[in-house]
Amino acid sequence: MIKPGILAFDVPALMASATRRIVWHASIYSPFARSDRHGEAVRDFLRRPGGCGMDIVTLPRRPEAWCTCFFTVLRGGSVRSAGTELETSWRFLDELSSEFPSQVRIHVLKRRPSLPILLIDDNILFGHYAVSSVPAGQGWWTRVEADVERMLSWMPHGPPESVTDWERACYRVVSDCANAMSDGGIDEGDW
Bridge-based pairing of strands 123-126 and 21-27 is unpaired
Q: Is the Cβ–Cβ distance between 6 and 15 less than 8 Å?
A: no
Give one DSSP letter per residue of 38-52, joined into a string. HHHHHHHHHHSTTS-
Q: What pLDDT, in 10s, does the model give residues 92-148?
A: 999 999 999 999 999 999 888 999 999 999 999 999 998 888 888 899 999 999 999
> Could you give the domains of the chain?
2-190 (3.30.870.10)
Note the pTM of the prediction, 2 decimals: 0.91
Q: What pLDDT, in 10s, does the model give residues 8-66?
A: 999 999 999 999 999 999 989 999 999 999 999 999 999 998 888 999 999 999 888 88
Q: No. of H helices and E strands in the chain?
A: 7, 7
Q: ∠ CA(57), CA(94), CA(174), 5° rounding?
A: 15
Distance CA 138, CA 128 (A): 10
Distance CA 87, CA 30 (A): 8
